[in-house]
């Protein structure tokens, strides 16, 4: 049975009667830039995430870039971030004028290791970009006090974790609500995906929100009056319409992903060689990815390819070893948990539209390989 890694066509078949009319309304109005849907989406994402303000922008990468730009980094200013993440996290630090400082992750969660952050803090450190990888939030209860003690900003890269939550001191908090800012991506393959690029910055800081709103519109507060140089980084009205139509489904989609993940983990944990993803009891995981650690990964990939089971390695190389960051002077072996993960991880299909038969085919293919 063929099981694609992601099946957006199956999703679209279920929701097209909601999305197409929403788009056609925006089209009929012909207000493609900053139309009313943008503000509506901002309000709904702010509510979902438990923040005062959400500022829509052109991508998740831009949401990070804008969040970093408001820090006014000077050359040599350092921003600490995990080496095991999508490239954009570190690319945005570089493009905002900062120096990325890569640290290792926790073996159990794939998320940034708070002790490693603490060890990397120097007098030049200005901020921490914590990534909520694969849909599960990082250990914010340890990261926030560290940042407080050293006067650092915290940016939550929640591109993979919209609607996820973590329990701190007995209270649940949504991804994006704990840092100075939190950032989301609406890239089509994310849990809430548009029909193109899109992103959002969340914050409860009024002054910061105002500056972010300016920065995405060329730095202008009033038309043709520019207090600072900003960007052209808006979310298209049509994208906002798509996302507004899809947002009501997000909670049930996340629940369905958790259900698929639970079924996989129950079956795969019978096999001593396979290490299924651990869910921290203090996390509500949204399973953007279902990521295993396995031995003989390359052979497993070939086996899955033959069985037409979708799979992918997120991520095959630590960012500290990327050619573009060679000048930062990291060596192989320096971030061992990241490097181990890049050699062992494999992600399996975990989207809500998977049929029971497809889920079983995924399980059979993996367990069949390990015998």
> Which residues of this protein are in contact with ligand PLP, per CB under 6 A?
59-61, 85-86, 88-89, 131, 157, 159-160, 185, 187, 197, 199
Least distance (Å) between residue 159 CB and ligand PLP: 3
3-state helix, strand, coil in the chain (%, to 5): 45, 20, 40
Give the residue among 314, 304, 330, 280 at the shortest CA–CA distance from 139.
280
What is the spatial distance between Cα 186 and Cα 213, in angstroms, rounded to a whole number? 18
Judged by beta carbon, residue 87 or residue 370, the one nearer ligand PLP is 87
DSSP, res 202? E
What is the spatial distance between Cα 246 and Cα 186, in angstroms, rounded to a whole number? 11
Judged by beta carbon, residue 325 or residue 369, the one nearer ligand PLP is 325
Cβ contact 146:117 at 8 Å:
yes
Q: What DSSP string runs through 143-193?
A: HHHHHHHHT-EEEEE-TT-TT-EEEETTEEEETTSSSSEEEEE--TTSSS-
Give the residue among 162, 203, 164 at the shortest CA–CA distance from 184.
162
Of all helices (H) and strands (E), which one includes residue 354?
none
Judged by beta carbon, residue 88 or residue 345, the one nearer ligand PLP is 88
Cβ contact 365:303 at 8 Å:
yes
What SS3 class is residue 300?
helix
Least distance (Å) between residue 192 CB and ligand PLP: 11
Judged by beta carbon, residue 159 or residue 286, the one nearer ligand PLP is 159
Least distance (Å) between residue 86 CB and ligand PLP: 4
The torsion angles phi and psi of 270, rounded to 5 degrees, stand at -70, -15
Judged by beta carbon, residue 35 or residue 194, the one nearer ligand PLP is 194
Least distance (Å) between residue 151 CB and ligand PLP: 25
Least distance (Å) between residue 348 CB and ligand PLP: 17
Judged by beta carbon, residue 161 or residue 307, the one nearer ligand PLP is 161
Between the CA atoms of 213, 161, 357 and 313, what dihedral angle is there, to the nearest 10 degrees? 100
Least distance (Å) between residue 89 CB and ligand PLP: 5
Residue nearest ligand PLP, CB atom distance: 60
Judged by beta carbon, residue 322 or residue 360, the one nearer ligand PLP is 322
Least distance (Å) between residue 161 CB and ligand PLP: 9
Least distance (Å) between residue 54 CB and ligand PLP: 15
For residue 337, count other CB atoms closer than 10 A to its CB.
Answer: 20
Judged by beta carbon, residue 11 or residue 89, the one nearer ligand PLP is 89
């Amino acid at each position: 049975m063929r099981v694609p890694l992601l099946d957006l066509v199956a999703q679209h078949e279920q929701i097209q009667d909601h999305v197409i009319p929403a788009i056609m309304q925006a089209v009929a109005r012909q207000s493609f830039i900053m139309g009313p849907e943008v503000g509506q989406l901002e309000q709904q994402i702010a509510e979902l995430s438990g923040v005062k303000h959400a500022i829509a922008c052109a991508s998740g990468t831009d949401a990070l870039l804008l969040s970093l730009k408001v820090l006014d980094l000077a050359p040599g200013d350092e921003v600490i971030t995990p080496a095991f993440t999508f490239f954009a996290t570190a690319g945005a630090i570089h493009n905002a004028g900062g120096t990325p400082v890569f640290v290792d992750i926790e073996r159990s969660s794939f998320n940034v290791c708070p002790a490693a952050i603490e060890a990397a803090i120097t007098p030049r450190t200005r901020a921490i970009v914590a990534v909520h990888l694969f849909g599960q939030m990082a250990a914010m209860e340890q990261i926030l006090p560290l940042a407080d003690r050293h006067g650092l900003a915290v940016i939550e890269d929640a591109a993979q974790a919209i609607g996820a939550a973590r329990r701190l001191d007995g209270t649940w908090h949504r991804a994006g609500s704990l840092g100075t800012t939190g950032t989301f991506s609406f890239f089509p393959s994310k849990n809430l995906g548009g029909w193109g690029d899109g992103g959002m910055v969340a914050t409860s800081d009024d002054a910061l929100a105002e500056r972010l709103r300016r920065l995405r519109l060329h730095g202008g507060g009033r038309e043709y009056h520019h207090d600072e140089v900003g960007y052209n980084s808006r979310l298209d009205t049509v994208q906002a319409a798509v996302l507004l139509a899809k947002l009501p489904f997000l909670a049930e989609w996340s629940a369905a992903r958790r259900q698929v993940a639970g079924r996989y983990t129950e079956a795969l944990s019978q096999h001593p060689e396979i290490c299924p993803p651990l869910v921290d009891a203090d996390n509500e995981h949204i399973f953007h990815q279902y990521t295993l650690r396995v031995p003989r990964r390359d052979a497993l990939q070939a086996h899955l390819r033959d069985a037409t089971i979708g799979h992918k390695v997120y991520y095959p190389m630590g960012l500290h070893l990327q050619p573009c960051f060679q000048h930062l002077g990291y060596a192989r072996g320096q971030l061992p948990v990241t490097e181990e993960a890049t050699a062992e991880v494999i992600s399996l299909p975990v989207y809500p539209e998977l049929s029971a038969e497809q889920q079983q085919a995924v399980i059979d293919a993996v367990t069949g390989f390990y015998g």
